[in-house]
């Protein structure tokens, strides 16, 4: 689907509409739960999710496997000068099979963003997504900043993580 630089196990590229549609139709259940919490909608609709990811401002990327299927889409949305919010959505099989490569690429993208003008990158996760919390802290070197009570549209709490330049 996408075209881009070769990374072991996966290719990194610029996403096309089909990449977002594929991920939205095959998204991990915990990421669907977070999407529903964020938007406040009651029922998951892959076409709506795909359109919202496409419309996300800022830099976007896709990682595809050797079968040319997307395993993850993500991006960095500008919040204000030097501050970005990172987001990503992937497939269960993509994470199970390519988690090391996904981690390496995401950390590299974050490093590049921090080296090229960002002084803060932040992300928010449902308080219940403890595996995601561990990944942000251990793999992406982000720091847990605290709980945002009632942050999500449905009233659930969020944990905020950030990486800030020294």
Instruction: For residue 18, give the CATH number of its domain.
Output: 3.40.630.30
Residue 153: strand, helix, or coil? coil
46 in a structural domain = yes
The pLDDT, as a whole number, for residue 8 is 58
The domain of 105 spans 3-120
Query: For residue 9, what pLDDT band results from cuts at 50, 70 and 90?
Result: confident
Assess if residue 140 is contained within a domain: no
- Judge whether 130 lies within some domain: no
Residue 93 lies in a domain: yes
Query: Domain total for the chain?
Result: 1
| pLDDT at 92 > cutoff 90 | yes
Closest CA to 72 of 26, 131, 135, 121: 26
Residue of 1, 156, 161 lying closest to 72 (CA atoms)? 1
126 located within any domain: no
Residue 134 has pLDDT above 80, yes or no: yes
pLDDT over threshold 80, residue 7: no
């Amino acid at each position: 689907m996408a075209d881009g630089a070769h990374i072991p196990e996966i290719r990194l590229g610029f996403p096309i509409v089909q990449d977002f549609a594929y991920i939205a139709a095959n998204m991990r259940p915990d990421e669907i739960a977070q999407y529903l919490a964020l938007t406040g909608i009651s029922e998951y609709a892959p076409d709506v999710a795909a359109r919202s990811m496409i419309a996300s401002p800022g830099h976007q990327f896709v990682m595809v496997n050797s079968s040319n299927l997307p395993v993850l889409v993500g991006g960095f949305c500008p919040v204000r000068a030097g501050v970005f919010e990172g987001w990503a959505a992937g497939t269960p099989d993509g994470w199970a099979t390519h988690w090391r490569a996904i981690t390496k690429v995401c950390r590299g993208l974050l490093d590049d963003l921090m080296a090229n003008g960002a002084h803060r990158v932040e992300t928010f996760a449902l308080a219940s997504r403890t595996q995601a919390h561990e990944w942000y802290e251990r793999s992406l070197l982000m720091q847990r900043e605290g709980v945002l009570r009632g942050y999500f549209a449905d009233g659930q709490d969020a944990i905020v993580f950030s990486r800030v330049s020294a």
